[in-house]
């Protein structure tokens, strides 16, 4: 059995889901930000400026930046008071319609996320590790489709990886996917952009198809390597990828199935220990760059709250 999204028609499109411009606290204009991603080989970018009153609630209109071979998704990073250890939520909303209403003074993070999801957006928990998001916080964000499991800007502060919280939520029965992103601001003190991205499987580069694929979980994430195919054959997972030094399967049970070597491009690893839950594939290349599959459910998970 071929594991989604590798069994779906179309091809993979490389995209950035989390980037800021001078419409909020980024250094570059939307046009320059899009140009940098386009020239780096990306197929699409979502400009997600901070949706705060201080910036007049920008929902940056990037439709004029679309051109042959490159497109944009509209979005924003939404905020509302508060989480257990932070004064505000950080919620990624990709695919928001223009004219999305700013939050009222009493609207909570989970409430604005539900409203954004009902409007058709892909909802992500932005940089949970950097925001010190607790399990209780994350559980309350019931409109989320996904967790931002790697944030390149937060990695600069040693808080880029949020797989631990994601695995706990998955074990609690949440049907979540996992994406990587830059959180690019292109400020002088920041790491360079074009570090972490998603590869979205769709038949075309049309924004509506990309958005539908994201919501359906038809993507994987990377900071370098490529995943070519994942198949389940009985109790074994067959994985093909670009050359890497490590291929591993982890999941909802402590432990790992691992193959290490030089320029590995395939592996067959057992998944029996994960049979009553889920597993995921991580590959790492010689430079330490990684790619992650979405969770592979070996039993049927509970569903998220319907929008």
Secondary structure of residue 42 in the 3-state scheme? coil
Which of 10-14, 87-91, 188-192 has the lowest average pLDDT? 188-192
Residue 30, CA distances (Å) to 11, 20, 64, 96 in order: 27, 8, 10, 17
Closest by CA to 75, choosing from 105, 40, 110, 113, is 113
112, 142: one domain: yes
168, 96: one domain: yes
Range list of β-strands (E), 43-193: 44-47, 50-51, 71-78, 91-94, 122-125, 146-151, 177-181
Give, as one character, the DSSP assignment of residue 57.
Answer: -
300 pLDDT higher than 90? no
CB 267 within 8 A of CB 257: no
What pLDDT, on the 0 to 100 scale, is given for residue 307?
41
At 170, phi and psi to the nearest 5? -65, -40
Cβ neighbours, 10 Å, residue 287 = 11
What pLDDT, on the 0 to 100 scale, is given for residue 51?
98
With a CB cutoff of 8 Å and minimum separation 6, the contacts of 82 are 88, 89, 109
301 pLDDT higher than 70? no
What pLDDT, on the 0 to 100 scale, is given for residue 191?
85
Instruction: State the average pLDDT over residues 245-251.
Output: 97
77, 182: one domain: yes
163, 250: one domain: no
CATH number of domain containing 292: 2.60.40.10
285, 183: one domain: no
306 pLDDT higher than 90? no
CA distance 250 to 258: 9
Instruction: Give the max Cα distance, the chain.
Output: 56
Cβ neighbours, 10 Å, residue 276 = 10
Q: What is the pLDDT of residues 136-147, one digit of tens each?
A: 999 999 999 999
241, 191: one domain: no
CB 253 within 8 A of CB 272: no
Residue 282, CA distances (Å) to 8, 130, 197 in order: 21, 22, 15
CA distance 103 to 97: 15
What pLDDT, on the 0 to 100 scale, is given for residue 62?
98
Out of 166, 187, 222, pick the residue that ends a domain: 222
In a domain, 307, yes or no: no
215, 236: one domain: no
- Both tokens of 300, joined, read 């049927």
In a domain, 306, yes or no: no
305 pLDDT higher than 80? no
In a domain, 304, yes or no: no
120, 245: one domain: no
What pLDDT, on the 0 to 100 scale, is given for residue 79?
98
262, 139: one domain: no
For the chain, the average pLDDT equals 96
What pLDDT, on the 0 to 100 scale, is given for residue 46?
98
Out of 171, 196, 222, pick the residue that ends a domain: 222
139, 267: one domain: no
With a CB cutoff of 8 Å and minimum separation 6, the contacts of 162 are 125, 127, 128, 129, 133, 147, 148, 149, 150, 151
CB 129 within 8 A of CB 158: no
CATH number of domain containing 207: 3.20.20.140
In a domain, 2, yes or no: no
With a CB cutoff of 8 Å and minimum separation 6, the contacts of 64 are none
Half-sphere exposure of 173 (CA within 13 A, CB side): 4
243, 211: one domain: no
State the pTM of this model: 0.95
Out of 166, 193, 222, pick the residue that ends a domain: 222
For the purposes of burial, counting CB atoms within 10 Å of the CB of 183, is it exposed (0-12), middle (13-18) or buried (19 or more)? buried
What pLDDT, on the 0 to 100 scale, is given for residue 304?
52
**Domain count for the chain:** 2
Which residue range is the domain that position 54 belongs to?
11-222
In a domain, 189, yes or no: yes
Q: What is the pLDDT of residues 177-186, one digit of tens each?
A: 999 999 999 9
Q: What is the pLDDT of residues 113-156, one digit of tens each?
A: 999 999 999 999 999 999 999 999 999 999 999 999 999 999 99
């Amino acid at each position: 059995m071929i594991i989604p999204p590798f069994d779906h028609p179309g091809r993979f499109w490389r995209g950035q889901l989390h980037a800021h411009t001078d419409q909020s606290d980024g250094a570059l204009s939307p046009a320059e930000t899009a140009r940098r991603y386009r020239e780096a080989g990306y197929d699409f970018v979502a400009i997600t400026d901070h949706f705060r009153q201080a910036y007049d609630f920008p929902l940056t209109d990037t439709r004029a930046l679309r051109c042959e071979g490159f497109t944009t998704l509209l979005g924003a990073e939404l905020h509302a008071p508060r989480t257990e250890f932070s004064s505000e939520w950080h919620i990624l909303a990709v695919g928001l319609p223009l004219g999305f209403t700013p939050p009222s003074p009493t609207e909570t993070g989970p409430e604005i996320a539900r409203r954004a999801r009902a409007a058709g957006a892909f909802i992500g928990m932005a940089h949970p590790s950097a925001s010190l998001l607790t399990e209780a916080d994350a559980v309350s964000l019931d409109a989320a489709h996904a967790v931002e499991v790697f944030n390149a800007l937060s990695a600069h502060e040693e808080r880029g990886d949020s797989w631990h919280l994601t695995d706990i939520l998955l074990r609690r029965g949440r049907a979540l996917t996992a994406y990587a992103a830059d959180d690019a601001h292109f400020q002088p003190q920041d790491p360079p952009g074009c570090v972490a991205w998603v590869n979205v499987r769709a038949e075309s580069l049309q924004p509506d198809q990309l958005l539908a694929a994201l919501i359906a979980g038809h993507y994987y994430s990377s900071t370098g390597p490529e995943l070519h195919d994942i198949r389940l054959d009985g109790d074994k997972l067959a994985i093909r990828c670009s050359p890497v030094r490590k291929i591993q399967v982890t999941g909802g049970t402590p432990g790992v199935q691992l193959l290490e070597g030089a320029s590995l491009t395939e592996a067959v690893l057992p998944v029996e220990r994960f049979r009553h839950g889920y597993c995921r594939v991580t590959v790492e290349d010689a430079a330490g760059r990684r790619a992650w599959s979405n969770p592979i459910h070996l039993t049927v998970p509970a569903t998220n709250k319907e929008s």
